[in-house]
Structure 1
């Protein structure tokens, strides 16, 4: 009889404790992922590069690509990026897709944009042009482990409104994840999409907090 009572008590204790343990686990996880880690502070801005309109990383959440001169060969990369990431966030005013290219890629860039205009909101794409030295300077400021090959890399980056490069500092596959491979649908879908959501949520929470604080100050006055 005693053994039966003890067994029931243990079962009830486990059933009661499991939800609490699960809650504490997820609560701690939420705190860990409340912000997307800053991997590089104060990257070089692109305001000095040539573009159709004034272009800067400042006050924007930027997806940044260095796509070189062979844009014809990058249709797969761009399609992956557009379908898995960009089209979900084009409506946000503080979100932009920036493609940094060498000067000689201007005509190809325009043809590239026109070709994609039927399946993407290419009017949201921002092209910045510069010399290879200027492009290398911007890229080098990211301090990533990746390299440019003739002004090209398949990896795309997230730069925040304060010109910081964001990514993961404890990724299960890479350790520090500075950029996302535009050739990989899985990486864009499973990692980059999640990280863009996190940084957008981070800024929304900050904006909401500031608005609430402003309202509170006005009420006191």
Structure 2
């Protein structure tokens, strides 16, 4: 091999090597990275909805409990709107669902107006029910978290199309080794962890659609 040929080979390896390695990792992520199911058979919200036929079934949903004092926690919704909603609202079957106690309708309308200042918020759904039903809905997630006296939780939850709560096996972060939800009070948590996990669930769904089409 000539000196020129050797130089060309070395340059090709240096240029294409990292790219090929990245593609290998990306392929491995698509094939093997799955977001664990941490709770099955989460209760649906279809009976909470009067005007809209909102349901968790057959949708990928971000579920939140912002409480009767939700305007005090609107930063949570703004964080989720900016870091999650704006990236994924164009996907068919993706939605945000906020379960609230009755009596917070006016505050919810105000919050939705603020969220809509920058984005189309048609896929933000605010549902109202008795405080006892809010608690029952939250309990169906079977997490290690709890609602406060105003039916508020700082956590946002990813619910897949089969009514499964998706989260992480993260023994370093939590005592029981499971991450059920994402603290929406923290921009870092939403940006660094939740965005990636929503992407994984979306990718799983899209891969499943492709597989079903091939098998038909």
TM tier relative to shorter chain:
0.7 to 0.9
Structure 2 residue matching 1:161: 3-state secondary structure: coil
Name the structure 1 match of 2:45.
46
Is the CA contact 2:94–2:123 (under 8 Å) kept in the aligned structure 1?
no
**Residue of structure 1 equivalent to 2:194:** 192
Q: Conserved in 2, the CA contact under 8 Å of 1:52 and 1:127? A: no
Q: Name the structure where helix makes up a greater proportion of residues.
A: 1
1:111 Cα deviation from its structure 2 partner: 1.7
Contact between 1:51 and 1:129, CA under 8 Å: does it hold in 2? no
> Within 1, Cα distance between the matches of 2:157 and 2:89?
16
Residues 54/32 of structure 1: CA separation in 2 closer, same or farther (3 Å cut) = same
Q: What TM-score, normalized by structure 1, do the two folds share?
A: 0.81
Structure ID, larger Rg? 1
Gaps of 5+ in 2: 1-17
1:107, CA displacement in angstroms? 1.4
Q: What is aligned with 2:7?
A: none
Q: How far off is 1:79 after superposition?
A: 1.2
SS in 2 for 1:113: helix
Aligned counterparts, 1:1-221, within 5 A:
26=25, 30=29, 33-149=32-148, 150-170=150-170, 172-174=172-174, 175-214=177-216
Native 8 Å contact 2:30 2:203 kept in 1 = no
Q: Between Structure 1 and Structure 2, how many residues are aligned?
A: 194
CA–CA distance in structure 2, aligned partners of residues 189 and 67 of structure 1: 19
Deviation readout 1:22-60 (Å, 9 max, x if unpaired): 89x959963885321000000111111134301111000
TM-score by length of 2: 0.83
Please state whether the residue corresponding to 1:204 is helix, strand or coil: helix
What secondary structure sits across from 1:158 in the alignment? strand
SS in 2 for 1:120: coil
What is the CA deviation profile of residues 59-89 of structure 1, one whole-angstrom value per residue up to 9, with x for unaligned ones?
A: 0000000001112212221111111111100
| CA distance, structure 1, for counterparts of residue 58 and residue 182 of structure 2 | 22
